Amino acid sequence: MRDGVDHFLAALEEERGFSTNTISAYRNDLTQFQKFLKLDERPNSWATLSEADLQSYTLYLHERGYATSTIARKTAAIRSYCGYLVEQQVLRSNPSQAIASPRVAKSAPKAMTVEEVALLFERPLEAQSAEGLRDLAMLRLLYGTGMRVSELVSLNVEDVILETGYVRCVGKQGRERHVPIDDEVVLILEDYAERSRPAIVRDGGECALFLNHRGQRLTRQGFWLILKGYAESAGVADITPHTLRHSFATHQLLEGRDLSHIQQVLGHVSISTTQVYEQLAEQMRDGRAETVREPVLAVDAGE
């Protein structure tokens, strides 16, 4: 049974271009489902998988107190895998079609106020070090472009074209886009490239733009810890890297930017995804937006 899951995940990665994080989530969910099937006298072959097995597993998850959002994710992974088994003629019909996925209420994104962003930017300057300048460059670039943190840490030196003021980033499923950066961010990046990065890098052949203390490419987790430290110091509660993306989009709307422009910059496939920021911007205009209280989620979740 394990081989079937491995082949499915390989197909997702090679044929559909799913990210490493998505593949990992699918693997965890399907491995858990596989372990459940080994209990009692469950089927030991995917070919004998039935609707009753799926219903039993859904009940099993509910009984153990899994959140609705988690059950919905696990159900979606199983449904996708069952479709694959049908395509491979392992199953004659898809037993997951009759299994309803629990409805998950979609919460509105949270954004920082302009004042909170300013407070956050002040903190790296206090360090007066190569790392502090690196951190300022990362924060300003992330907020100034709305890119995802996975896109930020994936940047190579050659991806930032300071002469013309844009950055080339690769988003979900390999979609590439060129994002403009303003003059102030260009100056900060120039300063980082000239003074800070050379002090951090160990290997002259390292192509990553942003480096950790070992001179290697900074990870998403590493950036999250850096952001968390500055947020606590600035008194800005419970923010994630995606909060800066939400804040960029909301503040751009407040400044009068066209929604379709923001959609292109963020790399959203559908403008309906970008439209969620209109309500948030309206709340800020009316002075009703609350201080950020975004739950700590996995980095780079969602659009």
Catalytic residues: 148, 172, 242, 245, 268, 277
Location of structure tokens 């590493």: 222
Most distant CA pair in the chain, distance: 66
DSSP state of 95: G
Which phi-psi region, left, alpha or beta, contains residue 161 (left: φ > 0; alpha: ψ -120 to 50)? beta
What is the b/e burial string over 239-253, where b = at least 16 CB atoms within 10 angstroms of the residue's CB?
A: bbbbbbbbbbbbbbb
CB 61 within 8 A of CB 74: yes
Distance CA 228, CA 207 (A): 26
Contact partners, residue 201, CB within 8 Å, separation at least 6? 211, 215
Q: Find out whether 65 and 112 touch, Cβ atoms under 8 Å.
A: no
Span between the terminal Cα atoms of the chain, in Å: 33
249, 266 in Cβ contact below 8 A? Answer: yes
Residue 56: CB atoms within 10 Å: 15
Rounded Cα gap, residues 139 and 154, in angstroms? 15
Phi, psi of 44 (to 5 degrees): -105, 15
**Collapsing DSSP states into helix, strand and coil, what is residue 167?**
strand
Question: Among 198, 223, 196, 216, which Cα is nearest to 134's?
Answer: 196
With contact defined as beta carbons under 8 Å apart, do 136 and 95 qualify? no
